[in-house]
Amino acid sequence: MTASDNAISTELLDWYDRHARDLPWRAAPGQPAPDPYRVWLSEIMLQQTTVAAVKPYFAKFLHIWPTVEALAAAPDDQIMAAWAGLGYYSRARNLAKAARVVAELGAFPETEAELRKLPGVGDYTAAAIAAIAFGERAVVVDANVERVVSRLFAIEEPLPKSRKVIRTHTDAITPECRAGDFAQAMMDLGSSVCTSRSPQCLLCPLSRHCEARMAEPEHFPFKAPKKEKPIRAGQAYWIEREQSVWLVTREGTGMLGGMRALPDDGWSAKGDGSSIPPFDGEWAEAGSVSHSFTHFSLDLSVMVTRTEQEPAIKGEWWPLDRLEQAGLPTLFAKAARRVLAG
DNA sequence: GAATCGTGGTT
DNA sequence: TAACCAAGATT
């Protein structure tokens, strides 16, 4: 660590002591580390997800399952339903698996290398938990850090190829002590000052160190162009009997895997659905909903029928007055609203 | 290494 | 408003 690197971490930590955000899963600067369960849970939820979106889910999970042992004992469908709406459902599937591993171990692993073995815990999350919950000096690189470091050192190589050099620079400015506070300080800086668009350089404690400061910081980090998003078409099927609707549980690890859902015609990221209903009958279109996923958009047509018989597809009758508790992902919650709105 | 995997807020 | 983006992991 050069003198300049040292100044960066020192000045950032000083800024953090005065400006740290107060977040439910976080200890105040300099305070004892929070419960590893809280740190882990928040880090999983925060993957590619905003603080505002996570807050109510974090509170709900902690209320229902106050400990990792309680979470480990919960059935999958309850965990999946509680996660509904937060997105990236493989996180919830891995959350359940990891909880059971930790419960079996008796406690959370305390090193970056051991944490990295938990399902759903990758390079970033292992480093973050090790630093924040256990005080290990780990190099924590998330999208905020990538942006801040790209600007600090005016890295012109585009992401994702620049990841290696970004990590090297991050390692150089990571202090031996308070690595957890340092990581959180970098993330606070990235989310509130060194923002993607319109960075607030006048408020930045690191501006005097920033090589991009006199250029155009908002142009960093450079990024490879992204592919265009196709529009797919599909159908979902609303099968109603008395005051219940037939819900399925989606299989596998693909789109919305493990989540309760309306039956559909097999639409996917690869192509349109078949438009073939699950059985012959009198189907009427109740309307359509548009939904945008990460790599494609979907126009979903919602087909409705009434029946007295048990559909031949695996599923369950779900009472309409308890539909909120089914834990439908947002796409199907939208479809349900469309039907029920008439 | 590139694709896959959600959602809601911001600009 | 369409595009961009967020405390990434997995295959």
CATH number of the domain that residue A168 is part of: 1.10.340.30
Q: Which residue's C-alpha is at the least distance from the C1' of B10?
A: A197
**Domain boundary pick from A219, A253, A278:** A219
**Domain boundary pick from A169, A194, A219:** A219
**Protein CA at A272 to nucleotide C1' at C3, angstroms:** 24
Question: Any atom of strand B under 7 A from CB of A49?
Answer: yes
- A197: in domain: yes
- A77: in domain: yes
- A117: in domain: yes
Question: Any atom of strand C under 7 A from CB of A277?
Answer: no
**Protein CA at A165 to nucleotide C1' at C7, angstroms:** 20
Looking up tokens 């690197």, which residue turns up? A5
Identify whether residues A213 and A276 lie together within a single domain.
no
Identify whether residues A215 and A245 lie together within a single domain.
no
Question: Any atom of strand B under 7 A from CB of A52?
Answer: yes
- A226: in domain: no
**Protein CA at A121 to nucleotide C1' at B6, angstroms:** 19
Identify whether residues A40 and A145 lie together within a single domain.
yes
Identify whether residues A74 and A154 lie together within a single domain.
yes
Domain that holds residue A175: 3-219
Identify whether residues A305 and A179 lie together within a single domain.
no
**Domain boundary pick from A174, A198, A219:** A219
Residues 222-241 of A, Cβ under 7 A from nucleic strand B:
227
Q: How high does pLDDT run on average in chain A? A: 96
Identify whether residues A125 and A10 lie together within a single domain.
yes
With b for 16 or more beta-carbon neighbours within 10 A and e for fewer, the A252-262 pattern comes to eeebbebbbbb
The total number of structural domains that make up chain A: 2
Q: Which nucleotides on chain C have any atom < 7 A from a protein Cβ?
A: 4-11
Question: Any atom of strand C under 7 A from CB of A196?
Answer: yes
- A225: in domain: no
Average pLDDT over residues A222-231: 90
Residue A223's pLDDT is: 92
Strands (E), chain A: 231-241, 244-249, 260-261, 284-292, 297-306, 316-319
Identify whether residues A23 and A170 lie together within a single domain.
yes
Q: A11, A43, A240, A251: which is the annotated catalytic residue?
A: A43
Identify whether residues A211 and A235 lie together within a single domain.
no
Q: Which residue's C-alpha is at the least distance from the C1' of C7?
A: A46
Identify whether residues A244 and A186 lie together within a single domain.
no
pLDDT at A337 over 90: yes
Residue A317: which CATH number?
3.90.79.10
**Chain segment A151-162, per-residue pLDDT in tens:** 999 999 999 999
A231 pLDDT tier (thresholds 50, 70, 90): very high
Identify whether residues A138 and A64 lie together within a single domain.
yes
Q: Which residue's C-alpha is at the least distance from the C1' of B11?
A: A197
- A189: in domain: yes
> Which nucleotide lies closest to A23 by the C1' atom and the CA atom?
C7
> Which nucleotide lies closest to A50 by the C1' atom and the CA atom?
C6
CA–CA distance, A130 with A128 (Å, rounded to integer): 6
**Protein CA at A282 to nucleotide C1' at C9, angstroms:** 43
Average pLDDT over residues A261-285: 95
Residue A227's pLDDT is: 87
- A88: in domain: yes
**Chain segment A248-268, per-residue pLDDT in tens:** 999 989 999 999 999 999 998
Q: Percentage of chain A surpassing pLDDT 70?
A: 100
DSSP A24-92: TT-PPTTSPPPPHHHHHHHHHHHTT--HHHHHHHHHHHHHH--SHHHHHHS-HHHHHHHHTTS--THHH
Average pLDDT over residues A231-244: 97
Q: Percentage of chain A surpassing pLDDT 90?
A: 92
A43 catalytically annotated = yes
Identify whether residues A178 and A297 lie together within a single domain.
no
